[in-house]
Copies of this chain bind each other. A is one copy, B any other.
């Protein structure tokens, strides 16, 4: 099967790192296509970044439908454009926050999210609620590490994140950690070893959850809210996004 892993920001090095993590856990027959849009923000650290990352992400989903992709992972912890992507896709589309929270909820009575900037904590709470995971989410903690610093060699980011995870276990009544940024994917094993508690990272969790659903031959419901976009002509700079074209091609 072919699963497209879409990093919605434009930072290629993050995409590659995520691709490596995903391929490491993918089943033998699974092809992981890790991509990122060429337009939009290099990192997503707020609602505005998220809104502008979404068109590029959706273009990747639309292309994926042409390329015969069986499922999609949206690899940013805010799960931007998730419902819009579901309108485009036949197969399953899963956000990494969604998959990580689902996984954490079956492994522990409660978890804490440890994320980057304080301004994104509200987004994580919104998602926890939307997915029904608020009852499991004991806290969302910011580390004030910038997304792109996670990637930098010699950065203090790892130590800061590990400390925050320790505080989460000690103070939040949580028994598991959800890493709240796709950029933290490569830190997961290291942190888990240090903590001795489950540490869930969304890129790999979403890859496996999508793979599972595709193996079950389950697809996105095409009635109701996730039905294909109605065909219409968009104007101006976004004309190429007109859903008419998508329909014809599909």
Contacts and interface: CB of A to CB of B under 8 A. Distances in A.
A46 B236 contact: no
Nearest to A61: B48
A127 to B, nearest CB: 12
A238 B40 contact: yes
Nearest to A246: B48
A136 B102 CA distance: 14
Contact of A92 (B43, B107, B135, B230): B107
A61 to B, nearest CB: 10
Given A88-B48, A205-B216, A218-B198, A235 B39 contact: yes
A236 B47 contact: no
A176 interface: yes
Interface string A96-111: 0010001101111110
5 contacts: A39-B239, A110-B224, A132-B133, A169-B223, A209-B212
